[in-house]
Amino acid sequence: MQAKFIARLRDKLGARYVLDRPEELAAYDCDACVLIQKAPELVVLPKTTEEVAFVVQTCVEFNIPYTARGAGTGLSGGALPMQGGVQIGISRMDRIIDIDARNQTATVEMGVVNVWLNEATKADSLFYAPDPSSQVACTLGGNIAENAGGIHCIKYGVTTDHILALQVVLPDGNVTWIGSKNRRSHGPNLVGLMVGSEGTLGIITQAIVRLTPKPESVKVYLAAFDSVQAAGATVSSIIQRGLLPSALEFMDAFTVRAVNEAFHVGFPEQAEAVLLIELDGPANVVDHDEITLNAILNQHQVSQIRVGATEAERLALWKSRKATVAAYGRYLPAFYLHDCVIPRSQLVPILEKIEEVAQRYKLTIGNVFHAGDGNLHPNILFDPADAVMVNNALRGGEEIMRACLAVGGTLSGEHGIGIEKSAYMHLQFSAASLDKMKLVKNTFDPKGLSNPEKIFPMRTGCGETHAATTPALFSGEGLWI
């Protein structure tokens, strides 16, 4: 990388915020999907939108690719610089600029950690609804780039449902606002286009987000079942009866056991499946919904029911749910996580397929997911130092993904496509649809410098990317060997 280029960035941002030593760059060579690794040639840490724009303009001038990065909690390699170049870290852009309680909005920079916003709005009895499991670490910039979901998305929607306006540094370095704080805008929905675009159309630096009033009453049910089939049937019945829980989460027997062993939370030890069901709203509505919910649970032979009625009890249950990945770490050091979305009616058949894949490839797979909207999260555990185990994890993961698509599923519910799933886009979209998507990308980014090699099929998946460290993993043409 040219010394002139680096010197110009250091003059603008300050030398301490332009990193190029190998030990510094190593901290940016992967996200939470450890199967994919790629270090940048340079990392810059801007503090303002103006500085981000300057970096982008300079990259365009020198024809150097760039990739934005938040907290690095992503699971699809979306923030990895596949062509090297410059990594633009937004972690220093961490201001909550304004909380407008009367209009129920907040203006925030993209380095704000998700949970910080909820802490800041608590006094006004408001909250920001999208709550990924990495809520205590992930940034709003990454959430918006990937269109993150979370436990409460069945009722409150995913990130795109809570974004009113965005400040964007476009791929030519110009800065613009799109959308409107007053919840009305005209012309094409550019906010909807930008949310979930994974940094391929520009870098978002600020957002005006929608806040939601805290409900009057909240209760969380833990329902244990003696079979996965009974739990799956319960999920379907809840939706069919017209209940709209604010959360409806599934945990399998292995996950329940892992969480109990790690955190001693007292989940039912003998359960084959556990549902966490949250009801919220006006107190009289929650009371009515409880009657309906209890009838449904008893209809499906629930073996145990526990109710978290106080805030402390509810928080303990949700903390346990969000700590599942940490609990898995007691078994194996890494995990490969898919997030296909399938029709709720297909939950049990796909879970049976996952179990069959686990047995055939001798894998440990823990299932914990957003059952209410069919967003699966099979966690395939593995040891990165064991090439055979990694190979089996990749092969098994591909079979699970293809099975989900075969029943009408989609590739991703909230983790994004990134590089990890890009090779499979043709399984969901026609060539004509992919061409139209690429046309949008090329319109925004004709030089192809903004987070290149993401979303669209260019490589064959994370096995090929990982092949630099484990050469025997991938044979090409979408087949793991």
Residues 238 and 260 in one domain: yes
Q: What is the mean pLDDT of residues 56-76?
A: 97
Whole-number Cα distances in Å, 192 to 142, 144, 147? 15, 10, 10
Residues 184 and 102 in one domain: yes
pLDDT digits (tens, 9 = 90+) for 357-384: 999 999 999 999 999 999 999 999 999 9
Between CA 227 and CA 303 the distance in angstroms is 10
Between CA 349 and CA 192 the distance in angstroms is 33
Residues 54 and 29 in one domain: yes
Indicate the pLDDT class of residue 266, thresholds 50, 70 and 90: confident
Q: What is the mean pLDDT of residues 151-163?
A: 96
- Give the percent of the chain with pLDDT over 90: 86
pLDDT digits (tens, 9 = 90+) for 384-417: 999 999 999 999 999 999 999 999 999 999 999 9
- Where among 213, 230, 247 does a domain terminate? 213
| Per-residue model confidence (pLDDT) at position 449 | 98
Number of domains present in the structure of the chain: 4
Residues 85 and 104 in one domain: no
- Where among 168, 196, 213 does a domain terminate? 213
Residues 349 and 443 in one domain: yes
Instruction: Report whether pLDDT(468) > 70.
Output: no
Residue 296 located in a structural domain: yes
Instruction: Report whether pLDDT(469) > 60.
Output: no
Residue 478 located in a structural domain: no
Instruction: Report whether pLDDT(217) > 80.
Output: yes
- Where among 33, 67, 89 does a domain terminate? 89
Residue 35 located in a structural domain: yes
pLDDT digits (tens, 9 = 90+) for 5-20: 999 999 999 999 999 9
- Give the percent of the chain with pLDDT over 70: 95
- Give the global pTM: 0.92
Residues 72 and 122 in one domain: no
| Per-residue model confidence (pLDDT) at position 317 | 87
Indicate the pLDDT class of residue 316, thresholds 50, 70 and 90: confident
- For residue 231, give the CATH number of its domain: 3.30.70.2190
- For residue 74, give the CATH number of its domain: 3.30.43.10
| Per-residue model confidence (pLDDT) at position 471 | 31
Residues 129 and 175 in one domain: yes
| Per-residue model confidence (pLDDT) at position 311 | 86
Residue 479 located in a structural domain: no
| Per-residue model confidence (pLDDT) at position 252 | 97
Residue 309: give the domain boundaries. Answer: 217-327
Instruction: Report whether pLDDT(473) > 50.
Output: no
| Per-residue model confidence (pLDDT) at position 184 | 75
| Per-residue model confidence (pLDDT) at position 34 | 85
Residues 179 and 135 in one domain: yes
Residue 377 located in a structural domain: no
Residues 39 and 52 in one domain: yes
Residue 373 located in a structural domain: no
Q: What is the mean pLDDT of residues 453-475?
A: 54
Instruction: Report whether pLDDT(185) > 70.
Output: yes
Residue 72 located in a structural domain: yes
Instruction: Report whether pLDDT(481) > 50.
Output: no
- For residue 173, give the CATH number of its domain: 3.30.465.10
Instruction: Report whether pLDDT(44) > 80.
Output: yes
Q: Identify the weakest region by mean pLDDT among 68-82, 107-121, 275-289, 459-473.
A: 459-473
Instruction: Report whether pLDDT(173) > 90.
Output: yes
Residues 468 and 342 in one domain: yes
Residue 124 located in a structural domain: yes
pLDDT digits (tens, 9 = 90+) for 432-449: 999 999 999 999 999 999
Q: What is the mean pLDDT of residues 344-366?
A: 97
Residues 71 and 107 in one domain: no
Residue 429 makes CB contacts below 8 A (sequence gap 6+) with 437
| Per-residue model confidence (pLDDT) at position 462 | 53
Residues 228 and 274 in one domain: yes
Regarding predicted confidence, which is higher, 357 or 338? Answer: 357
